[in-house]
């Protein structure tokens, strides 16, 4: 009680003064590290209850049959596929924000991309439930996967449903990889903060032994950029392929080339509206007003306005094509939407998707948090109805009037929808509790980049590190910089209060040496730190430096670090690296430039994937199990495009990620010696330089660092 009280008090206190970067970082870390706030588990319990509803519904669907839904012989798909498309649509915003905006260097995304990506994953999970459980025989659902089997039959690669399988799994896997890649440095940071124990062990495993080496950061950045490039076409392709489920069919109202762009626009609309509403809640719940600002929300709302209008245009085109054309069936479906049995659902869909976002023409509404939540929810209600109208509307009114039907959902249909919403929120709550809700390293990196005017290659001679006030002023005057660095308001506030005590010496030298026992057991005298699992740590001046094989220096600021690097480079052939919780591009020329093969691996992976996919499809359709389907030729390259594309992207992403791990030598055991330093110092924002050297060099290095033989270093000490 008291602890919780104290925590809440701290939160309350934190509301008033704006937080600076370190405080914010602390806050985010504390969210994960402290005990959950009292209301949290109650909310999780409510969420779990709703998930129970979902589980019960799925039990009914599996145990009794699809008949527990309202579907009938005419309307084979209804709330099931509506729910699927709805959730997949929501799942678009995350990757859009993290990948596309990254590529466009929209740096304002940094505070929201983690949450948005998590949202994507959970939405895709919720979505995936539907196509699996909508199968009449769920237990045979694996037949949709291209697994070799004793029956020697393969999925039908000409079916849009098979394309869906590939599109959704690729999207999910690539999103997971992308999300996880971004999470690794943050998990490592949490690991470093953690006390010994289970938490530490788990975080060590999850962070794969990431230690913030600047060499690794180079690989990281390359991998992240490559993955962003790979994820970008996925954002477009997933809903395009989902729209093929409809566009490929012959039904009036489905059979339309308009569908792919129309679906993608709709997906982005629902996704960004959902992110906007969710972030308003997150910033309030987590006390992150300084990170997730009104500026962010406004940006998202601009996206909602743009895509909402696009979607409206699509509706217009749909009606134009229908009524300008000769197709009586198409017209009947559209008429049914406009004035017939689907009119109410259609009105909801147009009202919520097209008209509601138009309010965002007013900046006051755009910047209003309440309006954001209301419109965010409204747009998503509208988008659900849009899919409902598309899915059921065309099925209900297809070709033969004798088969006309009217779908009515059952309680189980509704329970499934509510249940998936519950699942989504439960997962999201757990995410808030167990993962850093903001990307800590990206925040720092952005701050750093902003200070050095985002020119990594310019190196040492960049702007002074500590002059926060000046930095704040320049960015205020330059609107282009606002979102590249730090949102205006919070930066302004951080200016006034960032009076960081600087009592420590600029460079603190720590000598690390192997313990006698360990050394002897390994039988090596110069094994790298990474290989030695246990090392004792000595602080202050070395007394028996013969046994040391690495030296760690802590630098208070960037110039000191760079000066030290300069000195150390002069001592060549010393091997050294700089460790920081964010990438420092200025150090690249000291620690060595990236020469990784990450991009090449992605390319090779992509080629391999495409080759495999084409080979598999050709084998399955022409050699292994040729079938006469719909009078189509056994092999048609047009049909092979979606699967080939998806597999290629998946393999490229895997190649990229594996190559990243390989380049960094991850996963690796936790580097305890370094870890100890980082645990101590990371909260203080110190930069770590580690020099790996032979025993004979240790004393030299230590004295160099401590006594400032080199001029740069001496300057720094002063």
Minimum distance from residue 419 beta carbon to other proteins (Å): 21
Q: How many residues bind other proteins (CB under 8 A)?
A: 55
Nearest 5°: the CA angle 459, 461, 466 is 100
Nearest 5°: the CA angle 53, 437, 371 is 70
Binding positions for other proteins, 52-71, rule CB under 8 A: 64-67, 70-71
Minimum distance from residue 251 beta carbon to other proteins (Å): 7
Minimum distance from residue 82 beta carbon to other proteins (Å): 13
Binding mask 71-110 for other proteins (x = CB under 8 A): xxxxxxx---------------------------------
| Residue 249 sits in the site that holds other proteins (CB under 8 A) | yes
Nearest 5°: the CA angle 404, 408, 412 is 140
| Residue 284 sits in the site that holds other proteins (CB under 8 A) | no
Q: Between residues 187 and 334, which has the closer beta carbon with respect to other proteins?
A: 334
Which one among 156, 302, 474, 703 touches other proteins, defined by CB under 8 A? Answer: 156
The DSSP result for 50-70, as a single string, is HHHHHHHHHHHHHHT-GGGSS
CA distance 654 to 176: 11
| Residue 627 sits in the site that holds other proteins (CB under 8 A) | yes
| Residue 324 sits in the site that holds other proteins (CB under 8 A) | no
Phi/psi of residue 271, nearest 5 degrees:
-65, -50
| C-alpha torsion 189→195→198→202, nearest 10 | 10
Which listed range, 15-23, 140-148, 181-189, 454-462, lies at the site for other proteins (CB under 8 A)? 140-148
228, 653 contact by CB (below 8 A): no
Phi/psi of residue 449, nearest 5 degrees:
-65, -40
Phi/psi of residue 394, nearest 5 degrees:
-75, -35
Which one among 4, 328, 622, 623 touches other proteins, defined by CB under 8 A? Answer: 328
Which listed range, 147-155, 270-278, 365-373, 648-656, lies at the site for other proteins (CB under 8 A)? 147-155
| Residue 137 sits in the site that holds other proteins (CB under 8 A) | yes
Nearest to 359 by CA among 276, 466, 280: 276
CA distance 244 to 411: 29
Binding positions for other proteins, 396-425, rule CB under 8 A: 398-405
Binding positions for other proteins, 252-271, rule CB under 8 A: none
N- to C-terminal Cα separation, the chain: 48
116, 94 contact by CB (below 8 A): yes
Which one among 18, 47, 160, 419 touches other proteins, defined by CB under 8 A? Answer: 160
Minimum distance from residue 640 beta carbon to other proteins (Å): 14
Q: Between residues 340 and 456, which has the closer beta carbon with respect to other proteins?
A: 340
Q: At 629, is the secondary structure helix, strand, or coil?
A: coil
Binding positions for other proteins, 348-407, rule CB under 8 A: 395, 398-405
| Residue 42 sits in the site that holds other proteins (CB under 8 A) | no
Phi/psi of residue 304, nearest 5 degrees:
-60, -45
Which one among 20, 25, 111, 162 touches other proteins, defined by CB under 8 A? Answer: 162
| Residue 630 sits in the site that holds other proteins (CB under 8 A) | yes
Q: Between residues 88 and 481, which has the closer beta carbon with respect to other proteins?
A: 88
Q: Which helix H or strand E contains 87, and what residues bound it?
A: helix 79-90
Q: Between residues 342 and 670, which has the closer beta carbon with respect to other proteins?
A: 342
| Residue 625 sits in the site that holds other proteins (CB under 8 A) | yes
CA distance 245 to 88: 13
Q: Between residues 63 and 573, which has the closer beta carbon with respect to other proteins?
A: 63
| Residue 159 sits in the site that holds other proteins (CB under 8 A) | yes
Q: At 487, is the secondary structure helix, strand, or coil?
A: coil
Minimum distance from residue 322 beta carbon to other proteins (Å): 15
| Residue 342 sits in the site that holds other proteins (CB under 8 A) | no
CA distance 534 to 514: 7
CA distance 496 to 488: 13
CA distance 146 to 154: 6
How does DSSP classify residue 353?
I
Minimum distance from residue 72 beta carbon to other proteins (Å): 3
Binding site for other proteins (CB under 8 A): 64-67, 70-77, 134-138, 140-141, 143-144, 153-156, 158-162, 165, 245, 248-251, 328-329, 332, 395, 398-405, 625, 627-632
């Amino acid at each position: 009680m008291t602890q919780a009280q104290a925590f809440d008090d701290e939160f309350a206190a934190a509301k008033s003064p704006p937080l600076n970067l370190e405080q914010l970082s602390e806050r985010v870390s504390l969210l994960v590290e402290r005990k959950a706030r009292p209301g949290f588990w109650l909310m999780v319990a409510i969420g779990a209850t709703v998930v129970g509803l979902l589980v019960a519904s799925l039990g009914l669907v599996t145990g009794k049959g699809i008949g527990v839904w309202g579907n009938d012989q005419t309307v084979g798909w209804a709330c099931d596929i509506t729910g699927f498309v709805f959730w997949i649509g929501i799942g678009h915003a995350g990757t859009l924000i993290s990948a596309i905006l990254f590529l466009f260097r929209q740096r304002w995304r940094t505070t929201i991309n983690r949450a948005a990506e998590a949202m994507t994953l959970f939405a895709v999970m919720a979505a995936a439930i539907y196509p699996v459980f909508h199968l009449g025989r769920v237990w045979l659902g694996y037949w949709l996967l291209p697994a070799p089997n004793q029956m020697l039959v393969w999925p039908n690669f000409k079916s849009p449903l098979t394309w869906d399988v590939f599109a959704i799994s690729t999207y999910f896997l690539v999103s997971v990889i992308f999300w996880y890649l971004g999470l690794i440095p943050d998990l490592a940071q949490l690991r470093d903060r953690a006390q010994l124990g289970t938490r530490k062990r788990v975080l060590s495993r999850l962070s794969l032994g990431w230690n913030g080496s600047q060499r690794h950061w180079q690989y990281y950045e390359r991998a992240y950029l490559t993955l962003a490039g790979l994820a970008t076409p996925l954002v477009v392709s997933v809903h395009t392929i989902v729209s093929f489920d409809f566009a490929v069919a012959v039904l009036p109202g489905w059979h339309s080339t308009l569908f792919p762009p129309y679906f993608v626009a709709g997906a982005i609309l629902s996704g960004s509206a959902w992110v906007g509403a969710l972030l308003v809640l997150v910033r309030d719940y987590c006390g992150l007003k300084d990170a997730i600002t009104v500026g962010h929300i406004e940006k998202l709302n601009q996206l909602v306005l743009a895509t909402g209008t696009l979607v409206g245009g699509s509706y217009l085109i749909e009606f134009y094509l229908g009524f300008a054309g000769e197709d009586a069936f198409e017209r009947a479906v559209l008429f049914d939407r406009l004035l017939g049995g689907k009119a109410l659902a259609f009105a909801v869909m147009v009202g919520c998707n097209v008209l509601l976002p138009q309010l965002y023409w007013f900046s006051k509404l755009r910047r209003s948090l309440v309006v954001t939540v209301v419109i965010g929810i409204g747009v998503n209600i509208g988008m659900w109805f849009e899919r409902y109208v598309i899915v059921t509307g065309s099925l209900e009114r297809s070709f033969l009037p004798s088969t006309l039907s009217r779908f009515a959902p059952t309680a189980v249909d509704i329970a499934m929808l509510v249940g998936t919403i519950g699942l989504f929120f439960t997962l999201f709550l757990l995410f808030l509790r167990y993962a850093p809700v903001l990307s800590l390293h990206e925040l720092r990196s952005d701050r750093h980049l902003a200070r050095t005017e985002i020119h990594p290659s310019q190196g040492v001679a960049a702007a002074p590190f500590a002059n926060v006030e000046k930095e704040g002023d320049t960015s205020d005057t330059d609107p282009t910089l606002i979102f590249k660095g730090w949102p205006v308001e919070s930066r302004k506030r951080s200016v006034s209060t960032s009076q960081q005590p600087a009592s420590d010496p600029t460079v603190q030298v720590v000598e690390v040496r192997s313990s006698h026992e360990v050394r002897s057991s390994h039988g090596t005298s110069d094994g790298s730190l990474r290989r030695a699992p246990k090392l004792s740590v000595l602080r202050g001046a070395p007394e028996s430096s013969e046994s040391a094989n690495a030296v760690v220096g802590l630098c208070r600021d960037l110039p000191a670090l760079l000066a030290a690097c300069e000195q150390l480079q002069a001592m060549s052939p010393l091997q050294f690296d700089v460790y920081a919780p964010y990438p420092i591009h200025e150090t690249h020329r000291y620690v060595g430039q990236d020469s990784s093969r990450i991009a090449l691996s992605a390319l090779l992976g992509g080629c391999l994937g495409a080759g495999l996919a084409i080979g598999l499809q050709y084998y399955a359709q022409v050699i292994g199990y040729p079938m006469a389907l719909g009078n189509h030729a056994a092999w048609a390259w047009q049909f092979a495009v979606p699967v080939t594309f998806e597999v290629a992207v998946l393999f490229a992403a895997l190649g990229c990620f594996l190559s990243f791990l390989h380049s960094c030598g991850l996963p690796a055991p936790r580097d305890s010696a370094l870890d100890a330093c980082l645990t101590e110092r990371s909260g203080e924002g110190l930069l770590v330089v580690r020099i790996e050297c032979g025993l004979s060099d240790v004393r030299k290095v230590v004295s160099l660092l401590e006594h400032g033989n080199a001029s740069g270093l001496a300057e720094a000490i002063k």
